[in-house]
Chain A
Amino acid sequence: MTMKTLYILTPLAPLIGAIAAGFFGKQLGRANSHRITIAGVGIAFLLSLLALRDNLANGMVFDETIYTWMTSGGLTFEVGFLVDRLTVVMMTVVTSVSLMVHVYTIGYMHDDPGYQRFFSYISLFTFAMLMLVMSNNYLQLFFGWEAVGLVSYLLIGFWYKKPTAIFANLKAFLVNRVGDFGFLLGIAAVVMYTGTLHYGEAFAVAPDLVGKTMEIIPGSAWSVLTVICIGLFIGAMGKSAQIPLHVWLPDSMEGPTPISALIHAATMVTAGIFMVARMSPLFELSETALTFILIIGSLTALLMGLIGIVQNDIKRVVAYSTLSQLGYMTVALGASAYSAAIFHLMTHAFFKALLFLAAGSVIIGMHHEQDIRKMGGLKKYMPITYWTSLIGTLALIGFPGFSGFFSKDAIIEAVHGSQTAGAGFAHLCLLLGVFVTAFYSFRMFFLVFHGEERMDQHTREHLHESPRVVTIPLILLAIPSVILGAMTIGAMVFGNYFGSAIQVAEKHDVLGRLAEDYHGVFGFVLHSFKYPAVYLALAGSVAAWFIYMRKPEIADAISKRFNFIHRLLENKYGFDDFNQKVFAGGSLRIADKLWSVGDVKLIDGIMVNGTANKIGMLSQLIRKVQSGFLYDYAFAMIIGLLAMLSIFILST
C-alpha cells in the first residue's frame, strides 16, 4: 500500500462507517451499527499510527492532489492532502479520542432511540475533521471547517425535542457562521494576493506581501498580511470559541456528553488553533495580528475561567474550563509558540476528553442529574470514575509531572519571554488563570466526589460504577493524561519535531531561546518551582478545598459581599443578553421593517399597486370618452374638425 492510498483510506474508513450506520442503520441493527462505525474509526486510528510511524522514521512531507475539484478563472481548486509532522499529530489525536468516544457511546447512549444516527454522526465528524487537518489547501480546509460545523449542529440538536437543544444548535451554527464570514474573506484575500489556494504556494509568496497595503476605508492603508491573518483568525475565533464568539460553546452542552468530549472539547474546537499553527508562515509576518491574538486569547483564558467558578452544571464547568484552556492555546499562538499551542492542544485533548467522559459517567450514575449541588460523596460508589477524574483534574490544573503541567508551563514561559506587544498582559492573565483553573476544578471535584451525599434517596440507592464500555475509555484516556506531556515535551516543544511544518521568525522564537535552558523533563519540573505558576495552582486547589470542604459558609459570604461580581459572572458578563437583544432582536426588527415598509408599503403599495390604481383612475376618465353614444362621438368629431381647421388657418 502506498502512502497515498493510506492517506486516502484514513478519512474514508469513518465515512463509510457513517454512511452505513446512517442509511442502513435500521437494517443493520444497533450492534452492527456500532461495530461497523467503530471498525471504521479503528482503521483510521491504525492508519494514523502507521502515518505517524512512517513520518517519525523518515520525516517525509506528503503534499499531493487527490482530485481536481474545479478549475476556473486561472485558479485550480483541488482536494489534496498535506501530511507532515503537524498533520500526523492531529490525525493521531483525532482518531484516538474518536475511537475512545465511539466505545464509550455504546454505554452512554445505550437506551437512546437514535443510537444508529448518533454513531453515524460521530463517524461523519471524524471524517470531516480528518479532511480538515489533512488538507493542503484553503478550499478543503473550508470544506472540513464547515462540515465539522454541520455535524456539531446536528449533534448539539441530537435530542431534537428539547427546546434548549435546538436553540443551542442554531446559535452554534450562526455564531460559527459569523466566524466563517471573516474566515472566507481571509481566504478570498489570500487568493487575491497570492493567486493560489494551495498552502505551500501561498506561503512561498507570502514574504513578498510584507509592506504591501490595501485600502479598505479610502485613504487608509492596511497591511495586506494583517487583513489576511485577522480574517483567518476571526474564523478561528468562531470555531475555537474565543471572546466574543465564545457564546455558543457553553450552550453546546445541550448535546449528548460523548460529543461534548469529542467535538466540543478535544477536537473540533481546537481546529482554530490548528489552523493558525498551520498558517504560521503567514501569521509570523503580521505583528498586529499576533498582538490581536494574544489579547483575545488572554481575555478568554481568564474571563471564561472565572465563569467556571459559579457554574453548577457539571458539564458547563468543564465547558468553561475548555474555553479557558482554548484561550491558553490562543495565547501561545500569539506568542509565536505554535508548537507549544499544538502541544497543549494534544495534552488537553486527552485530559479534557477524560474529564468530559468522567462527567458523563457521573451523569449516568446520577440518572441524568447534572447539578453538582445535588451530588457529593460519589467517591465510594464510583471508584474508577473517581480516580480517573482526579487524574484529569490534576492534569488540567497543571500538577507537576502530569501532561497538562508541561504544556501549560511551556505556554506561560513562552509568553513570559515573548517580545510581542501585549505579552505582558497575557502573562498576567495566564498566571491568574492558573489559580482560577485550580480553584474551579477542585471546587467541582470536591462537590461531586467528596463531602456529604446531597442526592435524593432514590438516586443514592441506584448509584453504582458505570459499565466497562464507559470505564475502559476513561482508563485509556487517563494514561496519556499522565505520561504524554513528559514523553513528548522534549521533542515537540523544545526539539525540532515540527521541522518545516511550523515556521517561526527569528525575532519571535521564544521557544528556541527557552530550548537552550531545557535540560530534560526532570530539570523542567524542578525549574518550574522557581516560578509562581505551580504555587498558584496549589493555592487554588487548597482554597477550593478549604472553602467547599471546610467552611462552605465562606462561599456564601463571598458571593453576598461581592454580589455585583457574582451577578456579573452568573450573567456571563452579559454577552448572551447583549447578543440576544442587539444582534438577534435587532436583526429581526430590521428584517421586519425592511419587509413591512420597504417591500409591502413602498414597492408594492406605492409603486406597483399605486401605479395600477393610477392607471385604473386614468382609465375611468378615458372611459367617459368612449360612452358609446353617437351624439358624443359626433360632437367630438366636430370639435376636432374645428380645432384642425383653426390650426390650419392660423398657421397659414
Chain B
Amino acid sequence: MNKLFAKDQIAETTRRHRGAMVIGRSRRRQQAMFAIGALVLLSFGLVQAEVSPTRILAGLGRLGEFIVLMIPPDAGSSTRTYVEALGETLSIALLGTMLAALAALPLAILASRNILPIWLVRVLMRRGFDSIRGVDTLIWALIWIGVVGLGPFAGVLAIATSDLGAFGKLFSETLETADQRPVEGIRSTGGTALQELRYGILPQVLPLIAGQILYYFESNTRSATIIGIVGAGGIGLHLSEQIRTLEWQKVSFIIVLVLVTVAVIDFISSKLRAAISGARPV
C-alpha cells in the first residue's frame, strides 16, 4: 500500500521547489525589518515631541483638577446662546457637505474613466482633487476667514472645499465601479451619452454616493466644531472662549452638548445609510 505523503517524495518535492520554500523565509525577514523600522520611528517621534513621563504625571494632576472644576456641567445663563451656536455648527456642516457634493458630482463624472475616457482630463482632475484634499479643513477655514472674514460663511466654505476634494475622488471611484452591462443595454437602444449616464450608471451608484455624503456629514459635525475654534462660526468659538476664561463648568456643558448631538446624528445617519443601501429604486 502506498502512503499518501511518503518521506522520500516530500524530500524530492522540497528539493525541486527550493524557490517556494525560500519565499516564506524572505517574507519573515521583511516583517522583522518592518517591525524594527516601526520601533525606530516611534522612538524618534517620542524624542521629537518632548514626551516625558514626569511631565505627564505632573499634568495628570492638573487634568484631575480641571475635571473636578467641570462638575456639574452648567451653562449659567447662556444655555440659549449655546444651543443656537450648536444649530449654527450643524448648519455649517450640512451646507458645507451639500455644497461639496453638488459641486463634486459633475466633476467626478468628468473624472471617471468609464464615462469620459480622456486620459489628460482624468489625470488633471484627480490631481486637483488630491491637492484640495491634502489641505486640512482647519487650514481651509483659516484661508476662507482671510477671504470672507470671521463667521459661519467661512466655515461653510472651508468644509465645502475640503470635502470637494474628498467627494470628487470618492465619487469618481464609485462611478468607475458601475457595471458596464446596463450601460451597453441603454446604448443598444439608441440612447445618448446623457441617457446612458442617467439610466445606466446613476441608478447603480446614487445609493452608494448618498451613503458617502451622509457619512461625511456625520464627520463634518465634528470638523465644524473644531473650525469654530479658529473663528469660523458656531459652537467652537464659544468653546475656545470658555477655555480661555477658565469657565470649566461651561466648557463641560458645551462638550456634553456636542457629544450628545454628534451621537444622535451618527445614530440617525447610520440608520439612513442602512435604509439606502437596502433597496430603493432611484
- Chain A bound to chain B: no
Using a CB–CB distance below 8 Å, which chain B residues touch chain A? none
